């Protein structure tokens, strides 16, 4: 069972770490994993993406348009930017909180994410919106957004592993003092 | 053997270690940096690891180690090889005793480089064997083979991955510790007829190199990583030739039912000619899918002429593949569909998307470079000035609203470009901005040149005590080495005074008034003088409490936004605010605000 996963958002949201964690979950299940992501200049508040491919018979770490089973987007406009990669019938999970680019502040743009979310609703059959801000505030830390998003992605049923697998993989990768907060974030909706 | 999930660059480092690596040196540069960093991380003390001051120093050090029989690796990005090309060209004639791999990462796109140059050209130019891996697993395996070839043929070899291999990740098979090779260097054996380059030696070496490369072409035709994949239908008279990551895109585009014959070229130099002739036999047309330059395409075209083959070779030169930029799964699938005359997959297009916010790379919130640029801009307001930039985070000072980088060419170039402009336009105040790491890498000679040749310029060193752009590597000014030693720092001010500069002022750019005043004073002096803006990279220090904007006092003039462009200041519901998750409390905006509406926590 092959899965193409696309994570996207803005530099600093923890996308690369989520990608690594997803890869560990799949490897725990004995799956072959490949991934590719933006590194370098794009990190500084730029758009960040990570392609993940799970399963056999995969050659390239990146995939083409209309091949993602799921897009896990940490920011509405970034979901729209990467939407051409979504398979027909694929799932989009999007954090509804927009992040203003510096250029928007300079040009006094009115970007607030609403237009992006409307577009996603129009173009996607399987859309799950997550108010990451509110959930993180309840959990007590903005730093667990990535765990919240991964938890939601697992809840969608598209990923080939369970929330328990993710918790197990997370515990191996974070410092022990952060494990319980991260577990709460992963399980917040289970 | 066991399985691990590794980045391509980590796999290269692990493969080199498994091949008995003794010495690794390099200079940071995307996408090559993580090879040396990984080696330092996994080092149990058996490998000597250093960031050299630049690529030339790194390559010469690696050569010296290999002269002793050590297995050495040198890492750099493609433009770094330009800097190291002087020793490279000569070392090809001298050769080595221990295996030596020069790992040069190319950057199709380019994603974070000045050029789209193709290191495969450097291989044929320097006459050195070149290895071109197509995946993370292959990079791990091939780097070990590269060391063996190097040692067997007593020549340094080039190992040339591209960004998507360097920065791709895969779960791969790696050797257990007891499967790894250990290499004990014999030591340097004096022999001036071998290690001292002279015209006579070079003449003889040239004869030897040409003979060896002809032999290597045959050897590489048998090398298992160069291969022909048979066509699904043996009557098909079309073929595809590819390499590197593009080869995986080709595999993605083909299926076991429709695939034409495929040639994978893993050693672009010496080209596996016999294998290529075998591939071409029975084919009417071949499409070459390459990134960067059409090297396989030219080789195949040459071979067709040499062997009187009636095969049409298509690719970049014939307009069948785009000449610049990265290939993708989609672009390659399209190229192949056109070539094979397959119907292209058509599916419903998405409706036009709303206008997407642009997110260009910017200086971080709290970055001291922003303050430095702003100080110079304020000091030189209304005066005819030119601002030559250089390579590093501070190239981003070109963006609006700072707009303080008028030129950028290559490492260390700004110091000399500014002198050239000054000679032609003596009435212009000339500034060269250079980072601390770049200063050590390649700006010192420029400063000497300026003093000797009576330039009139201000050298501005943006000293944030790290090599920030590539991920915070230490350098001679930081007092830390990759072997974990704490050493004497090389002092930039002392270096400049030693060269003969009379005025060298060090100032904290975040003290805006003082910084502006210093620039005004120093810029007014004649001759070569320097300002060192010293303040650590904002990413490396614990941020201060975020500043807040008093909405009662704020008059909404947006001077803070329009003059600084800091990502830590945003507009929300029409109000100017700081973003507490980004603001580092550097305080620059509070010094710009005309109504003192921005303050630290104590002003809340």
* pLDDT category of residue B144 using cuts at 50, 70 and 90: very high
CATH of the domain at B208: 3.40.50.970
Angstroms from B311 CA to nearest CA on chain A: 29
- Per CB-CB distance under 8 Å, the chain A contacts of B360 are 46, 101, 103
Q: Is A142 exposed, middle or buried (0-12, 13-18, 19+ CB in 10 A)?
A: middle
- Per CB-CB distance under 8 Å, the chain B contacts of A6 are none
* pLDDT category of residue B188 using cuts at 50, 70 and 90: very high
Q: What is the pLDDT of residues B286-295, one digit of tens each?
A: 999 999 999 9
Closest partner residue to A23 (CB to CB) among B169, B400, B401 is B169
* Contact (Cβ atoms closer than 8 angstroms) between residue B68 and residue B99: no
Do both B199 and B232 map to the same domain? no
* CB contact set of B205 (below 8 Å; sequence gap of 6+): B93, B94, B95
Q: Flag whether B446 is in a domain.
A: yes
A111 lies within 8 A of chain B by CB = yes
Picking from B170, B357, B572 by the largest number of A CB atoms within 10 A of its own CB, the best residue to mutate is B357
pLDDT of residue A12: 81
Assess whether pLDDT exceeds 70 at residue B602.
Answer: no
Do both B239 and B299 map to the same domain? yes
Do both B197 and B274 map to the same domain? no
Q: Which percentage of chain B shows pLDDT scores above 70?
A: 99
Q: What is the pLDDT of residues B118-132, one digit of tens each?
A: 999 999 999 999 999
Q: Which tokens hold the place of B447?
A: 């400063």
Structural domains in chain B (count): 4
Q: Flag whether B349 is in a domain.
A: no
Cβ-defined contact of B167 to A36 (cutoff 8 Å): yes
pLDDT of residue B517: 98
* Contact (Cβ atoms closer than 8 angstroms) between residue A69 and residue A93: no
Angstroms from A132 CA to nearest CA on chain B: 15
Q: Flag whether B352 is in a domain.
A: no
pLDDT of residue A46: 83
Residue at a domain's end among B343, B377, B408: B343
Q: Is B10 exposed, middle or buried (0-12, 13-18, 19+ CB in 10 A)?
A: buried
Cβ-defined contact of A103 to B5 (cutoff 8 Å): no
Handedness of CA B371, B393, A79, B581 (dihedral sign): negative
- Per CB-CB distance under 8 Å, the chain A contacts of B363 are 44
Mean pLDDT of chain A: 91
* Contact (Cβ atoms closer than 8 angstroms) between residue A127 and residue A79: no
Buried b (16+ CB within 10 A) or exposed e, B470-503: bbbbbbbbbeebbeeeeeeebebbebbeebebeb
H or E element at residue B299: helix B295-306
Distance between CA A106 and CA A98 in Å, rounded?
17
Least-confidence region, from B5-19, B177-191, B224-238, B356-370: B356-370
pLDDT of residue A31: 94
Picking from A19, A44, A137, A143 by the largest number of B CB atoms within 10 A of its own CB, the best residue to mutate is A44
pLDDT of residue A108: 63
* pLDDT category of residue B532 using cuts at 50, 70 and 90: very high
Cβ-defined contact of B571 to A105 (cutoff 8 Å): yes
Backbone dihedral angles phi then psi of residue A33, each to the nearest 5 degrees: -130, 140
Q: What is the pLDDT of residues A83-103, one digit of tens each?
A: 999 999 999 999 999 988 877
- Per CB-CB distance under 8 Å, the chain B contacts of A111 are 357
From the CA atom positions of chain B, what is the Rg in Å? 27
- Per-residue pLDDT, averaged over A143-167, amounts to 95
* pLDDT category of residue A190 using cuts at 50, 70 and 90: confident
Do both B376 and B477 map to the same domain? yes
* Contact (Cβ atoms closer than 8 angstroms) between residue A37 and residue A91: no
Q: What is the pLDDT of residues B96-105, one digit of tens each?
A: 999 999 999 9
Do both B300 and B215 map to the same domain? no
pLDDT of residue B347: 67
Cβ-defined contact of A60 to B330 (cutoff 8 Å): no
Closest partner residue to B361 (CB to CB) among A31, A44, A83 is A44
H or E element at residue B40: helix B34-42
Do both B60 and B190 map to the same domain? yes
Angstroms from A187 CA to nearest CA on chain B: 25
Beta strands in B62-168 (DSSP E): 72-77, 100-105, 130-131, 157-159
Residue at a domain's end among B489, B514, B540: B540
- The verdict on whether omega for the bond into residue B401 sits within 30 degrees of 0, i.e. cis, is yes
Q: Flag whether B335 is in a domain.
A: yes
Q: Which percentage of chain B shows pLDDT scores above 90?
A: 93
Distance between CA B2 and CA B540 in Å, rounded?
36
- Give the 3-state secondary structure percentages of chain A, helix then strand then coil, rounded to 5: 45, 20, 30
Do both B436 and B573 map to the same domain? no
pLDDT of residue A142: 83
* CB contact set of B121 (below 8 Å; sequence gap of 6+): B293, B295
> Of the CATH numbers 3.30.390.30, 3.40.920.10, 3.30.365.10, 3.40.470.10, which one belongs to the domain with range A3-187?
3.40.920.10
Do both B211 and B233 map to the same domain? no
H or E element at residue B569: strand B569-572
Q: Flag whether B524 is in a domain.
A: yes
- Per CB-CB distance under 8 Å, the chain A contacts of B570 are 100, 105
Do both B198 and B236 map to the same domain? no
Distance between CA B93 and CA B126 in Å, rounded?
9
CATH of the domain at B265: 3.40.50.920
Distance between CA B47 and CA B40 in Å, rounded?
8
- Return the axis-axis angle of helices A163-173 and A176-186, rounded to nearest 10°: 160
Q: What is the pLDDT of residues A99-120, one digit of tens each?
A: 888 776 777 667 889 999 999 9
Q: Which tokens hold the place of B479?
A: 């007092």
Q: Is B176 exposed, middle or buried (0-12, 13-18, 19+ CB in 10 A)?
A: exposed
Residue with tokens 């059409």: B294
CA geometry: angle B509, B514, B518, nearest 5 deg? 90
Distance between CA B177 and CA B462 in Å, rounded?
44
Assess whether pLDDT exceeds 50 at residue A148.
Answer: yes
Q: Which tokens hold the place of B248?
A: 């995986």
Residue numbers of A between 44 and 83 with CB closer than 8 Å to B: 44-47, 59-67, 77, 80-81, 83
Q: Which tokens hold the place of B278?
A: 């075998």
Distance between CA B357 and CA B359 in Å, rounded?
6
Cβ-defined contact of B171 to A32 (cutoff 8 Å): yes
Cβ-defined contact of A103 to B170 (cutoff 8 Å): no
* pLDDT category of residue A42 using cuts at 50, 70 and 90: very low
Assess whether pLDDT exceeds 90 at residue B387.
Answer: yes
From the list B256, B303, B222, B360, the residue with the least C-alpha distance to A103 is B360
pLDDT of residue A39: 66
Cβ-defined contact of B167 to A39 (cutoff 8 Å): yes
Highest-confidence segment of A140-144, B495-499, B565-569, B573-577? B495-499
Q: What Cα–Cα distance (Å) separates residue B485 from each residue in B50, B69, B332, B474, B479?
A: 11, 26, 48, 11, 8
pLDDT of residue B601: 63
Cβ-defined contact of B169 to A66 (cutoff 8 Å): no
- Per CB-CB distance under 8 Å, the chain A contacts of B327 are none
Residue B555 lies in domain = 548-599
From the list B20, B192, B185, B196, the residue with the least C-alpha distance to B98 is B185
Assess whether pLDDT exceeds 70 at residue B356.
Answer: yes
* Contact (Cβ atoms closer than 8 angstroms) between residue B103 and residue B73: yes
pLDDT of residue B604: 41
From the list B483, B603, B462, the residue with the least C-alpha distance to B535 is B462
**DSSP SS3 for B264:** strand
Q: Flag whether B19 is in a domain.
A: yes
Q: Is B279 exposed, middle or buried (0-12, 13-18, 19+ CB in 10 A)?
A: buried
**ipTM of this complex prediction, to 2 decimal places:** 0.93
Do both B379 and B267 map to the same domain? no
Cβ-defined contact of A64 to B252 (cutoff 8 Å): yes
């Amino acid at each position: 069972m092959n899965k193409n996963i696309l994570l996207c958002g803005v530099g600093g949201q923890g996308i690369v770490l989520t990608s690594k964690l997803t890869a560990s979950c799949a490897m725990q299940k004995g799956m072959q994993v490949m991934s590719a992501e933006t590194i370098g200049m794009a990190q500084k508040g730029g758009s960040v993406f990570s392609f993940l491919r799970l399963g056999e018979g995969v050659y390239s770490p990146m995939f083409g348009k209309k091949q993602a089973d799921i897009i896990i987007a940490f920011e509405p406009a970034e979901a729209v930017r990467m939407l051409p990669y979504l398979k027909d019938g694929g799932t989009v999970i999007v954090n509804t909180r927009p992040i203003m680019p510096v250029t928007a502040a300079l040009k006094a743009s009115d970007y607030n994410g609403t237009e992006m979310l409307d577009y996603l609703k129009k173009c996607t059959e399987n859309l799950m919106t997550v108010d990451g801000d509110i959930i993180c505030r309840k959990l007590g830390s903005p730093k667990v957004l990535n765990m919240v998003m991964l938890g939601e992605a697992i809840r969608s049923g598209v990923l080939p592993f369970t929330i328990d697998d993710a918790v197990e993989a997370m515990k191996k990768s974070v410092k022990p003092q952060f494990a319980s907060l991260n577990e709460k974030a992963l399980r917040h909706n289970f | 053997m066991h399985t691990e999930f590794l980045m391509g660059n980590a796999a290269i480092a692990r493969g080199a270690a498994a091949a008995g690596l003794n010495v690794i040196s390099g200079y940071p540069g995307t996408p090559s940096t993580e090879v040396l960093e990984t080696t330092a991380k996994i080092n149990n003390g058996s490998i000597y690891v250093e960031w050299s001051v630049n690529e030339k120093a790194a390559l010469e050090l690696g050569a010296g180690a290999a002269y002793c029989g050590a297995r050495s690796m040198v890492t750099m990005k493609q433009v770094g090889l330009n800097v190291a090309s002087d020793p490279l060209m000569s070392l090809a004639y001298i050769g080595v005793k221990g295996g030596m791999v020069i790992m040069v990462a190319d950057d199709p796109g380019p994603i974070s480089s000045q050029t789209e140059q193709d290191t495969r050209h450097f291989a044929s130019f320097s006459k050195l064997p070149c290895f071109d891996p197509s995946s993370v697993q292959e990079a791990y395996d091939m780097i070990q083979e590269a060391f063996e070839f190097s040692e067997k043929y007593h020549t340094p070899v080039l190992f040339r991955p591209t960004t998507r291999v360097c920065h791709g990740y895969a779960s791969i098979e790696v050797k257990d510790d007891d499967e790894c090779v250990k290499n004990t260097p014999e030591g340097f054996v004096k022999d001036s007829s071998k290690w001292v380059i002279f015209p006579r030696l070079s003449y003889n070496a040239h004869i030897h190199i040409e003979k060896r490369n002809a032999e290597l072409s045959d050897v590489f035709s048998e090398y298992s990583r160069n291969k022909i994949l048979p066509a699904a239908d043996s009557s098909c008279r079309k073929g595809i030739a590819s390499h590197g990551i593009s080869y995986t895109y080709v595999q993605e585009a083909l299926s076991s039912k429709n695939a034409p014959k495929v040639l994978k070229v893993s050693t672009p130099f010496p080209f596996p000619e016999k294998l290529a002739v075998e591939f071409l036999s029975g084919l009417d047309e071949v499409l070459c899918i390459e990134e960067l330059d059409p090297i396989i395409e030219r080789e195949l075209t040459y071979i067709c002429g040499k062997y009187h083959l009636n095969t049409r070779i298509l690719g970049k030169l014939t307009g069948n593949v785009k000449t610049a930029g990265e290939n993708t799964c989609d672009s390659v699938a399209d190229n192949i569909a056109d070539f094979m005359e397959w119907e292209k997959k058509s599916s419903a297009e998405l409706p036009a998307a709303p206008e997407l916010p642009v997110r260009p790379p910017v200086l971080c919130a709290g970055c001291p470079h922003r303050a430095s640029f702003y100080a110079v801009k304020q000091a030189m307001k209304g005066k005819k000035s030119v601002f030559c930039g250089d390579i590093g985070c501070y190239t981003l000072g070109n963006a609006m609203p700072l707009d303080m980088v008028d030129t950028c060419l290559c490492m260390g170039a700004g110091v000399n470009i500014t002198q050239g402009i000054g000679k032609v336009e003596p009435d212009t105040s000339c500034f060269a901005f250079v980072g601390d790491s770049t200063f050590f890498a390649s700006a010192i000679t420029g400063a000497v040149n300026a003093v000797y040749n009576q330039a009139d310029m201000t050298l501005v060193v943006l000293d944030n005590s790290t090599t920030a752009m590539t991920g915070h590597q230490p350098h001679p000014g930081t007092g830390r080495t990759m072997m974990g030693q704490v050493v004497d720092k090389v002092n930039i001010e002392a270096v400049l005074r030693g060269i003969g500069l009379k005025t060298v002022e060090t100032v904290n750019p975040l003290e805006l008034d003082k910084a502006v005043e210093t620039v005004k004073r120093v810029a007014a002096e004649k001759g070569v003088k320097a300002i060192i803006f010293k303040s650590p990279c904002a990413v490396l220090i614990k941020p201060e409490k975020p500043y807040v904007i008093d909405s009662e006092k704020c008059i909404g003039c947006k001077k803070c936004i329009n003059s600084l462009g800091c990502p830590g200041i945003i507009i929300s519901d029409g109000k100017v605010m700081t973003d507490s998750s980004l603001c580092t409390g550097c305080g620059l905006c509070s010094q710009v605000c005309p109504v003192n509406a921005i303050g630290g926590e104590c002003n809340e």
